């Protein structure tokens, strides 16, 4: 006869996490990732208990096309930071997991040094759900890591597309890694990515790639000149680095610190974080409303039939939305 697993005690879990127990951090993250209603309530209590300990970390988002060397760069940069006394958490936002049911970051051998570093913590994104759901859990995981004493949080976008904007909206600093030999690649850069970048780093600038990296950096600087910077306080720099050879990463991190100091002095740092909190609230509300729509007995069956009618062109989208809104008790 199996016994029902005992529900986690938020107060005890919070105490263990504050004491620096890695196992407690892992359990806390598992709790916030749970889809069970009772676990969701406990997770909210846990986050509320830990809230005074959050917000102290430097949150850095890192993106780049496949093959640019994100994992190698994060592994080397993170190791540099732990050697300097920082505690580093590496998280991922992976929209591809909604299709495959798994996370690319599941294999921690991609960051071999950090995976065994006692000063580091690596956590892949949840293995299912919408990008919005994955992002929500990543935000909560950031808070848990901060409460556990991690003062640097690196958020990697494993997928492409919307995940870049999603990550930029939850971090303090957004780093875009680029490949050397810009040329044709420059044409493929999405304007939106450049508009949200706080820095561009051309990676693989070691050996024979050094000259190509410098040339690419010049091209990227020219591209940035035609765009208005997000902040009057900061013009995104373009630098060259080598994650493999550990070259330029100290300069990269110094630029992140300069950015933080300038933005804090201007008041933009806190303004950006406050704006992100409100945006997170609305994202969660929208997600909760969609969950209610799909689980509500009054709407679930009709939702399926309306989808079919809209797909086959028998019902206008506006009429379908009006009907569903009415079933939910929402009126114009």
Domain coordinates in residue numbering, the chain: 1-53, 55-266, 281-327
Please say if the pLDDT value at position 101 is more than 70: no
Alpha carbon distance, N-terminus to C-terminus of the chain: 53
- DSSP 8-class letter at 240: E
Residue 182 has pLDDT above 70, yes or no: no
Residue 61: band (very low, low, confident or very high) from pLDDT cuts 50, 70, 90: very high
User: pLDDT-based confidence at 107, cuts 50/70/90?
Assistant: very low
Residue where the block lists tokens 């759901």: 133
Report residue 152's pLDDT band, with 50, 70 and 90 as the boundaries: very high
What's the fold here for domain 1-53?
1.20.5
pLDDT at 310 over 60: yes
With b for 16 or more beta-carbon neighbours within 10 A and e for fewer, the 291-307 pattern comes to eebeebeebeeebeebe
Of 112-121, 200-209, 236-245, 295-304, minimum mean pLDDT range:
295-304
Instruction: Name the strand (E) or helix (H) holding 322.
Output: helix 317-327
Query: Residue 3: its pLDDT value, please?
Result: 47
Per-residue pLDDT averaged across 125-134, rounded? 61
Same topology, domains 1-53 and 55-266? Answer is no
pLDDT at res. 104:
44
Check whether 43 has a pLDDT greater than 70.
yes
> Which of 64-68, 253-257, 314-318 holds the top average pLDDT?
253-257
Q: Is 201 helix (H, G, I), strand (E, B) or coil?
A: strand
- Sequence-separated (6 or more) residues with CB below 8 Å from residue 181: 212, 215, 216
Could you give the percent of the chain with pLDDT greater than 70? 85
DSSP-derived 3-state class of residue 185: helix
Which pLDDT belongs to residue 38? 85
What is the residue-averaged pLDDT of the chain? 85
CATH code of 55-266, in short, is 3.40.50.300
Above 90 in pLDDT, residue 199?
yes
């Amino acid at each position: 006869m199996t016994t029902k697993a005992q529900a986690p005690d938020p107060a005890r879990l919070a105490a263990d996490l504050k004491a620096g127990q890695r196992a407690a951090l892992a359990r806390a993250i598992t709790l916030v990732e749970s889809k069970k209603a009772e676990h969701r309530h406990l997770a909210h209590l846990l986050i509320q208990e830990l809230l005074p300990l959050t917000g102290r970390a430097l949150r850095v988002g890192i993106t780049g096309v496949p093959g640019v060397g994100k994992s190698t760069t994060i592994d080397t940069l993170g190791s540099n930071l732990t050697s300097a006394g920082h505690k580093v958490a590496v998280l991922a936002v992976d929209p591809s997991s909604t299709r495959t049911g798994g996370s690319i970051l599941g294999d921690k051998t991609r960051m071999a040094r950090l995976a065994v570093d006692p000063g580091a913590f690596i956590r892949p994104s949840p293995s299912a759900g919408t990008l919005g759901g994955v992002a929500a859990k990543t935000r909560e995981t950031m808070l848990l890591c901060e409460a556990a004493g991690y003062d640097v949080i690196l958020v990697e976008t494993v997928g492409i597309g919307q995940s870049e904007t999603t990550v930029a909206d939850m971090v303090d600093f957004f780093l875009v890694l680029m490949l050397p030999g810009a040329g044709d690649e420059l044409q493929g850069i999405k304007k939106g990515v450049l508009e949200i970048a706080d820095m561009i780093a051309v990676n693989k600038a070691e050996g024979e790639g050094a000259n190509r990296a410098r040339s690419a950096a010049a091209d990227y600087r020219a591209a940035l000149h035609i765009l208005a910077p997000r902040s009057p306080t900061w013009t995104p720099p373009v630098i060259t680095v080598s994650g493999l050879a550990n070259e330029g990463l100290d300069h990269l991190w110094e630029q992140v610190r300069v950015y933080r100091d300038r933005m804090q002095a201007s008041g933009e740092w806190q303004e950006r974080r406050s704006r992100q909190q409100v945006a997170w609230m609305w994202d969660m509300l929208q997600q909760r409303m969609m969950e209610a729509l799909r689980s509500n007995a009054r709407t679930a069956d009709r939702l399926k039939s309306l989808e079919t009618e809209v797909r086959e062109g028998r019902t206008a989208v506006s009429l379908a939305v009006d009907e569903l809104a009415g079933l939910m008790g929402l009126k114009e």
